[in-house]
Amino acid sequence: MNNRTFFLTGLAVALLIAGVGSYYASGHADGLEHVASQLGFLDRADRSPAADGPFAGYSTRGVGDARVGGGLAGVVGCALVLLLGFGLFRTLRRRDDAREPGESEG
Size of the chain in residues: 106
Look at residue 39 and tell me if it is in a domain: no
Report the predicted TM-score, pTM, of the whole model to 2 decimal places. Answer: 0.64
Residue 44: the pLDDT is 85
Classify residue 76: in a domain, yes or no.
yes
Which domain range does residue 72 map to? 1-26+53-106
Q: How many domains does the chain have?
A: 1
pLDDT tens digit sequence for 57-105: 777 888 888 888 888 888 888 889 989 998 998 898 877 666 656 666 5
